[in-house]
């Protein structure tokens, strides 16, 4: 059923009690052409594009928990594409291009809001970094503006530009912004199912069967399944899944935390990031301030971060925005993110034939959801990398051709 003003009026007559389920819970079949492991935004999106653009009929998405319960529903929803290197610019800008049409594509309002994102610069060195990145973005056709202190102060009136962390300027991307993270998972799930994709929740993969170097099946908590191709999109648990298939990854899984304040009236109409003092903040449509910062230094699968990390993000926040100092923080939570040495994702083939992987998004995967899903679907379908996904192969860790965004991304991003 298409969501429309007509259907909204029609369903209001029955007090919204008779809406169809957005997606069903089918039983796991014994055989699939493609199985995607991981029902987050990237995995669901991959299944959607495989069905829609590449005509694959028999697809399942296996999710250990529930749709939207993993990192897709735990991030700070920031979307941007102002990365330093050409390879990243191509990948993340592909995503922003898809974000712009996503709500109508999926017939589901993902509340994509291009409210603009400011990367603050607090020193001469920071100004040099944003200038370098800004001009690199400009050459790659990514919208970008380098602002001075007065321009920033005028745009963001509550920002303390003369405090302990003086603001020298900012890099502004106007096409950047936020989206509703749950809606992205739900929208892709609903759209994928309408194209015949089986979405299997509460189905944990326990083993990967490999025969003569080719993936042939999966052992799951709901039984065995025969497969032709598998796409692993498990985020924090990437290494766990890779080990089941007999190989290692250049990944460490670490906790990343975020928190939200009590809801207040509109006060911040853009996204603020500061790499140097390590905090980022935006205001949700419900009025909560959504705040995030850096990841912990130790490996963990606990979905809890360390206590002092919260202070590390709050201290610079109240210094930059003294007006927020009396706000109460209502909730904090952690997710487990899979971090690569160069802070760029791994998209492509694995040592096992017909087993593909899309992981290593680390602290900044949400922004790339549609672009990641789109290029990974094509990679899985063709069995070969695409122009965009090619530089992000696992082999770059042997050739040395890293896509080093550790500086441009600097912190969780």
Partner 1 sequence: MFIIDCPYCGERDQTEFTCHGEAHIARPSNPNEVSDEEWGRYLFFRNNPKGIHFERWTHDHGCRRWFNVMRDTVSDKILKTYKMGESRPEVNE
**Residue 104 or 399 with smaller CB distance to partner 1:** 399
Entry field: residues in the chain: 413
Minimum distance from CB of 297 to partner 1 (Å)? 4
Contact region with partner 1 (CB under 8 A), list: 16-24, 86-94, 199-207, 393-401: 393-401
Burial group, residue 375, by CB count within 10 angstroms (0-12, 13-18, 19+): buried
The SS3 call for residue 408 is helix
DSSP 69: -
Extract long-range pairs of 323-326: CB within 8 Å, 24+ residues apart: 323/158, 323/267, 324/261, 324/289
Applying CB under 8 A, which of residues 107, 284, 306, 386 lies at the interface with partner 1? 306
Minimum distance from CB of 267 to partner 1 (Å)? 31
Applying CB under 8 A, which of residues 81, 239, 358, 363 lies at the interface with partner 1? 239
Is the CB of residue 111 less than 8 Å from the CB of residue 179?
Answer: yes
Residue 405 φ/ψ, nearest 5 degrees: -100, 10
Total binding residues toward partner 1, as defined by CB under 8 A: 25
CA pair distance 155, 160, nearest whole angstrom: 12
- The bridge status of strand 279-283 relative to strand 214-220 is unpaired
| 287 near partner 1 (CB under 8 A) | no
Applying CB under 8 A, which of residues 115, 132, 222, 304 lies at the interface with partner 1? 304
| 221 near partner 1 (CB under 8 A) | no
**Residue 279 or 337 with smaller CB distance to partner 1:** 337
Is the CB of residue 371 less than 8 Å from the CB of residue 347?
Answer: no
Applying CB under 8 A, which of residues 114, 131, 224, 252 lies at the interface with partner 1? 252
| 251 near partner 1 (CB under 8 A) | yes
What count of Cα atoms within 13 Å lies in the side-chain half-sphere of residue 127?
A: 10
Applying CB under 8 A, which of residues 14, 55, 298, 328 lies at the interface with partner 1? 298
| 149 near partner 1 (CB under 8 A) | no
| 211 near partner 1 (CB under 8 A) | no
Contact region with partner 1 (CB under 8 A), list: 18-26, 84-92, 174-182, 293-301: 293-301
Which residues inside 320-349 make contact with partner 1, applying CB under 8 A? Answer: 341
| 237 near partner 1 (CB under 8 A) | yes
Q: Please, what is the angle between helix 86-106 and helix 124-139, to 10°?
A: 70
Q: What is the largest CA-CA distance in the chain?
A: 64
Contact region with partner 1 (CB under 8 A), list: 119-127, 168-176, 232-240, 368-376: 232-240
List contacts with partner 1 (CB under 8 A): 237, 239-240, 248-253, 296-302, 304, 306-308, 341, 397-400
């Amino acid at each position: 059923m298409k969501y429309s003003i007509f259907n909204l009026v029609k369903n209001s007559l029955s007090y919204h009690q008779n809406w169809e389920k957005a997606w069903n819970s089918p039983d796991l079949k014994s055989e699939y052409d493609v199985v995607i492991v991981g029902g987050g935004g990237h995995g669901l999106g991959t299944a959607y594009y495989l069905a829609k653009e590449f005509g694959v009929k028999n697809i399942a998405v296996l999710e250990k928990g529930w749709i939207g319960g993993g990192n897709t529903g735990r991030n700070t929803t920031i979307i941007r594409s102002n990365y330093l290197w050409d390879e990243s610019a191509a990948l993340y800008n592909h995503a922003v291009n898809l974000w712009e049409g996503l709500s109508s594509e999926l017939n589901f309002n993902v509340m994509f809001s291009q409210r603009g994102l400011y990367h603050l610069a607090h020193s001469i060195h920071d100004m040099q970094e944003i200038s370098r990145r800004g001009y690199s973005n400009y050459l790659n056709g990514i919208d970008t503006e380098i602002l001075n202190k007065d321009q920033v102060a005028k745009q963001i009136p509550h920002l303390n530009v003369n405090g302990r962390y003086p603001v020298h300027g900012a890099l502004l991307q106007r096409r950047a912004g936020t989206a509703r993270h749950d809606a992205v998972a739900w929208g892709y799930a609903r759209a994928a199912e309408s194209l015949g994709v089986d979405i299997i929740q509460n189905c944990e993969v326990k083993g990967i069967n490999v025969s003569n170097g080719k993936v042939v099946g999966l052992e799951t908590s709901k039984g065995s399944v025969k497969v032709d191709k598998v796409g692993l999109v498990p985020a924090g648990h990437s290494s766990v899944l890779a080990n089941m298939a007999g190989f290692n990854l250049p990944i460490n899984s670490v906790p990343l935390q975020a928190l939200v304040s009590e809801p207040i009236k509109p006060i911040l109409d853009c996204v603020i990031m500061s790499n140097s003092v390590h905090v980022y903040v935006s205001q949700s449509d419900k009025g909560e301030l959504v705040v995030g910062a850096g990841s912990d230094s130790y490996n963990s699968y606990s979905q809890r971060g360390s206590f002092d990390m919260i202070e590390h993000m709050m201290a610079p926040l109240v210094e930059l925005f003294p007006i927020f100092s009396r706000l109460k923080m209502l909730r904090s939570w952690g997710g487990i993110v899979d971090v690569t040495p160069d802070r760029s994702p791994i998209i492509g083939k694995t040592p096992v034939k017909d087993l593909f992987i899309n992981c290593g998004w680390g602290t900044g995967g949400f922004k790339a959801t549609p672009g990641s899903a789109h290029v990974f679907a094509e990679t899985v379908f063709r069995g070969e990398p695409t122009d965009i996904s090619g530089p992000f192969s696992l082999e770059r860790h042997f050739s040395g051709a890293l896509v080093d965004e550790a500086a441009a991304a600097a912190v969780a991003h």
